[in-house]
Amino acid sequence: MTGFIGKQSESPNQPSESEAQPTSQGVVLDLAGYCPICEKETRFVAKDKWYRGSLLCQMCTNGSVPRERALALVLRETVPNWPNLFIHESSPMNRGISIVLKRDCENYVGSQYFPEQPFGTKVGEWQNENLEALTFPDNSFDLTITMDVMEHVFHPKLALQEIYRTLKPGGYYICTFPIRKYLTEPMTVRASIKNGEIVHADGITPEYHGNPVAKEALVTVDYGYDIHHLISYWTSFDTRIYRFSDRRHGIMGEYTEVVVCRKPDVNARLPAK
């Protein structure tokens, strides 16, 4: 019997293995499909083998990438009435599903992190919030969304507990963040704060990602396969993780997991009278 041993990327910035050869226009993947963000028949085109950042919907405003389409697909399946709900999205980008959420949901709050400004106030079009110490009252939202934010917070436990607190009973937290394939344990810390200074863990090369309102964001945490257990240990969320290889919806490549956390609906658990 022959075993299958898949090659694994060590880092989200490392290109995935692909047999595809570029066309004369530099296209390495061109899929016909349906986009769950713009809700159109479209083409998903990549000019780079790292599909996580390069496989773009040709119909979405400013494009969209696989993890955003994965989140949109799960969102539309899990919470189809989302336009009528109270939604908080932390650190939205100006593309993909964030544009659609803001456009179609009347009670949408987009927040960004401006540490120099007072929290709980407006900064331009954004609500200024620290995800680890939100200013919203308990039970404010039906739905909280973050896309590739959790790997940049210094205290993910606090952030998850704050998201839990500000969700209504029965509310959902739907998010994406890289879950490292080589890592079984729930998380390892890459960088921490000590006496106001950033301290990098031993042997870790600092890694930075794009940030919607700042130049770059340090990756503070690597999450692993068992992160769902840790989320449910830190909070009372019921948690599940979706993983994709979905050409029809253009969800191909590495790190497309969507994590769905539901705050228990306490009333639903009461015995019937």
**Residue 158 interacting with Zn ion (CB under 5 A):** no
CB nearer to Zn ion: give 29 or 35: 35
20-59: which residues touch Zn ion (CB under 5 A)?
35, 37-38, 57, 59
CB nearer to Zn ion: give 58 or 232: 58
* Shortest reach from residue 40's CB to Zn ion, in Å: 6
Count CA within 13 A, CB hemisphere, residue 223.
26
Torsion of CA 121, 122, 127, 132, to 10 degrees: -30
* Shortest reach from residue 58's CB to Zn ion, in Å: 8
CB nearer to Zn ion: give 59 or 85: 59
Tokens 């950042």 belong to residue? 53
Question: Which residue's Cβ lies closest to Zn ion?
Answer: 35
* Shortest reach from residue 57's CB to Zn ion, in Å: 3
Binding residues with Zn ion: total (CB under 5 A): 6
* Shortest reach from residue 44's CB to Zn ion, in Å: 8
Q: Tell me which residue of 82, 75, 69 sits closest to 40, measured CA to CA.
A: 69
* Shortest reach from residue 23's CB to Zn ion, in Å: 22
Gyration radius from the chain CA atoms: 19
Are 104 and 85 a contacting pair, CB within 8 Å? Answer: no
52-111: which residues touch Zn ion (CB under 5 A)?
57, 59-60
**Residue 258 interacting with Zn ion (CB under 5 A):** no
Cα–Cα dist 244/257, whole Å: 7
* Shortest reach from residue 174's CB to Zn ion, in Å: 18
CB nearer to Zn ion: give 96 or 186: 96
* Shortest reach from residue 56's CB to Zn ion, in Å: 9
198-217: which residues touch Zn ion (CB under 5 A)?
none
Instruction: Kindly tell me the burial class for residue 132, based on how many C-beta atoms sit within 10 Å of its own C-beta (0-12, 13-18, 19 or more).
Output: middle
Cα–Cα dist 74/69, whole Å: 9
CB nearer to Zn ion: give 12 or 96: 96
Using CB under 5 A, list all residues that contact Zn ion: 35, 37-38, 57, 59-60
